[in-house]
């Protein structure tokens, strides 16, 4: 790639430092323009704009290939798969027999692939608004998109809000695998939407939503949990280390009609199943619900 | 500060982007020059060179004041005090009656201040090589250096290696509160030094050492734990989220002659003591020993 090509990349979040023959491009994801992760880009593999958002695939040394949606880093080759595994396996090992699973969002297919590791699942529906995210992911992230070849995968390309309002089906587990509450996913962080998700769960159903960084997004976190508590009888936060997300510390809301995430954790099934994971395990399942004092204060 | 002054700051890790009246300085701490935290600097508060290292105090919006030693970010106002609290309180609530505590390093005094929150302590000795780090910290970090006014604080300005080789005293707890294994602290990550520390512990003593990032410093972590296991009968890793350290995910080695960090955790004393903390609590004490799969593989 020459300097001319690199100029086509948006200046909003990819900074060039070119001097003569040097070509230096850094991806920086800053919180309020003040601090955050910066990563040196070896190559811009693909850069496109779909009907909904800008999509970039960037090649780096430390993280391998990275997928960027709407200016937010979503997944990469070397993030230990923490986000996808924690979103998927925590509710899967709490619900005693999860058969019907719905993912809203999740276009990179990493969560779908984790869900389909469970033999109890008869169908995993994924409702993603942007078909191009799935196509780009298929081209560049074979490990994440492995689940697509599973006959239990059921892809629907539609707005998650529209889908959840119109469907009459019930699900054992619904996962909100969304990008940040700006851009295409903004509405899916609202209370009205969470109430509709509650209504589409079976009587012992579980919803898990990604709920941003407890370090950077304090007000968003507090507001989200206040809303969720008005809908679900059981709401518990858990966290994981995620090296490419803002502050590298990420939170999830475990929202349940009946099951407790620790008391009802199915240790036997976990031991029998011998899941192949990079991050999740039984100790992490329990340990992830321990929250530091500064996080407890937000809730 | 004008552009002329800012130019005195080393270019190795503070990057200027000046154009006309604009003055833009960013602090970036990169792993192998490839990725890491970048923070916008509002003001360079103090920048000096001691006998041992370069010392900077930088003012930022997201993190408040930050202390940088030898090009590594050590502490700041808004890091939730995670590192200091996890280093200090985990062994303090496992040992049944810690009286004599030794800190090697720890010049910012944050760990000293946490240790002295415990009424069991009769003396906390801190052996720091660089007096100027303590002086700079006193000027800019009053919360961290509060412990200095406690009569149980015993400061020694000396090389940690020399001190541990020469002292005949025994300690209940020894904490290795060191900067990275480059620069002045390099020797203190070696097996010979750990053996000497073992020898200066009482029969039921505990050593805790900071052991770098399990994400970025994989080989260092593996080598360190191999060494520690040859010396201590009980060696367990625990981790914390630390927003200003490389990868924001940090590890500690709990090394003990007798006590198990979870089985021997003194829940009653913790409940009675009502510690004022930003990060540490009893759930975190237990949860911090749960390690993700990719970390278990290193050990």
Q: What are the pLDDT digits (tens) for B240-292?
A: 999 999 999 999 999 999 999 999 999 999 999 999 999 999 999 999 999 99
Homologous superfamily of A3-72: Spermidine synthase, tetramerisation domain (2.30.140.10)
A38 with A28: CB under 8 angstroms? yes
Please tell me if residue A281 touches chain B, with a CB cutoff of 8 Å: yes
pLDDT tens for each residue of A23-42: 678 899 999 889 999 999 99
pLDDT greater than 90 at residue A11: no
> How far, rounded to the nearest angstrom, does the alpha carbon of residue A160 sit from its chain's CA centroid?
14
pLDDT tens for each residue of A40-65: 999 999 999 999 999 999 999 999 99
Question: How high is the pLDDT of residue A23?
Answer: 65
Q: Please, what sign has the CA dihedral across residues B11, B14, B17, B20?
A: negative
Contacts with B277 from chain A: Cβ below 8 Å: 293
> How far, rounded to the nearest angstrom, does the alpha carbon of residue A35 sit from its chain's CA centroid?
22
The residue annotated as part of the active site, out of B177, B180, B266, B282, is: B177
pLDDT greater than 50 at residue A4: no
pLDDT greater than 60 at residue A291: yes
* Over residues B146-171, mean pLDDT: 97
Q: Residue B24 — very low, low, confident or very high, per pLDDT cuts 50/70/90? A: confident
* Over residues B225-246, mean pLDDT: 97
The answer to whether the Cβ–Cβ distance between A292 and B284 falls below 8 Å is: yes
- The minimum CA-CA distance between B42 and chain A, rounded to whole Å, is 10
The answer to whether the Cβ–Cβ distance between B290 and A289 falls below 8 Å is: no
Please tell me if residue A139 touches chain B, with a CB cutoff of 8 Å: no
Q: Residue B183 — very low, low, confident or very high, per pLDDT cuts 50/70/90? A: low
- The minimum CA-CA distance between B118 and chain A, rounded to whole Å, is 18
Option in B31, B249, B286 nearest A241 (CB): B249
The answer to whether the Cβ–Cβ distance between A293 and B283 falls below 8 Å is: no
Whether this model's pTM surpasses 0.90: yes
pLDDT tens for each residue of A214-250: 999 999 999 999 999 999 999 999 999 999 999 999 9
pLDDT tens for each residue of A82-141: 999 999 999 999 999 999 999 999 999 999 999 999 999 999 999 999 999 999 999 999
Domain B3-76 has CATH 2.30.140.10: yes
Least Cα distance to A133 among A177, A87, A78 occurs for: A177
The domain spans of chain B are 3-76, 82-296
Mutation for testing the B interface, residue in A90, A290, A297 having most B CBs under 10 Å: A290
Question: How high is the pLDDT of residue B164?
Answer: 96
Residues 4-33 of A with CB under 8 A from B: 28, 30-33
Active site residue A177: yes
* Residue A23, φ and ψ in degrees, nearest 5: -130, 110
Burial of B45 (0-12, 13-18, 19+ CB in 10 A): middle
pLDDT greater than 70 at residue B14: no
Mutation for testing the A interface, residue in B13, B34, B59, B298 having most A CBs under 10 Å: B34
CATH class, B82-296 region: alpha beta
For residue A216, give the chain B residue with the closest CA. B62
pLDDT tens for each residue of B41-96: 999 999 999 999 999 999 999 999 999 998 889 999 999 999 999 999 999 999 99
Residues 6+ apart with CB under 8 A from A205: A95, A170, A171, A172, A173, A174, A256, A257
Lowest mean pLDDT among B7-11, B28-32, B154-158, B201-205: B7-11
Check residue B60 and report its DSSP letter.
Answer: E
Least Cα distance to A213 among B4, B115, B80 occurs for: B80
pLDDT greater than 50 at residue B209: yes
Option in A28, A31, A293 nearest B279 (CB): A293
- The minimum CA-CA distance between B284 and chain A, rounded to whole Å, is 5
For residue A291, give the chain B residue with the closest CA. B284
Percentage of residues in chain A having pLDDT higher than 90:
84
Q: Residue B180 — very low, low, confident or very high, per pLDDT cuts 50/70/90? A: confident
Least Cα distance to B45 among B64, B31, B62 occurs for: B64
Option in A61, A280, A294 nearest B34 (CB): A61
Lowest mean pLDDT among A279-283, B1-5, B105-109: B1-5
Average pLDDT taken over every residue of chain B: 91
A144 with A82: CB under 8 angstroms? no
Question: How high is the pLDDT of residue B12?
Answer: 42
CB contacts < 8 Å between A and B, how many?
A: 141
Question: How high is the pLDDT of residue A197?
Answer: 97
Contacts with A63 from chain B: Cβ below 8 Å: 35
């Amino acid at each position: 790639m020459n300097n001319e090509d690199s100029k086509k990349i948006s200046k909003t979040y990819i900074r060039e430092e070119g001097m003569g023959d040097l070509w230096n491009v850094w991806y920086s994801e800053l919180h309020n323009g003040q601090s955050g992760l910066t990563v040196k880009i070896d190559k811009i593999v693909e850069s496109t704009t779909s009907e909904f958002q800008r999509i970039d695939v960037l090649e780096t040394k430390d993280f391998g290939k990275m997928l960027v949606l709407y200016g937010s880093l979503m997944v990469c080759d070397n993030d230990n798969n923490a986000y996808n595994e924690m979103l998927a396996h925590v509710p899967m090992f709490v619900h005693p027999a999860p058969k019907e699973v719905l993912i809203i969002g999740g276009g990179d297919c990493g969560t779908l692939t984790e869900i389909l590791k469970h033999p109890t699942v008869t169908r995993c529906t994924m409702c993603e608004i942007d078909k191009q995210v799935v196509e780009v992911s298929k081209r560049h992230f074979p490990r994440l998109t492995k689940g697509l070849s599973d006959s239990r995968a059921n892809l629907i390309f539609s707005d998650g809000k529209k889908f959840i309002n119109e469907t009459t089906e019930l699900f054992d587990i619904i996962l909100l695998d969304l990008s940040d509450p700006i851009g295409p996913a903004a509405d899916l962080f609202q209370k009205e939407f969470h109430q509709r998700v509650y209504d589409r769960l079976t009587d012992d159903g579980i919803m898990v939503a990604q709920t941003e960084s407890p370090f950077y997004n304090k007000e968003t976190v507090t507001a989200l949990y206040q809303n969720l508590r008005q809908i679900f009888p059981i709401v518990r936060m858990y966290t994981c280390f995620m090296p490419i997300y803002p502050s590298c510390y990420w939170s999830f809301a475990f929202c349940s009609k009946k099951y407790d995430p620790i008391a009802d954790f199915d240790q036997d099934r976990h031991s029998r199943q011998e899941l192949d994971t990079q991050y999740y395990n039984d100790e992490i399942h329990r340990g992830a619900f321990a929250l530091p004092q500064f996080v407890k204060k937000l809730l």
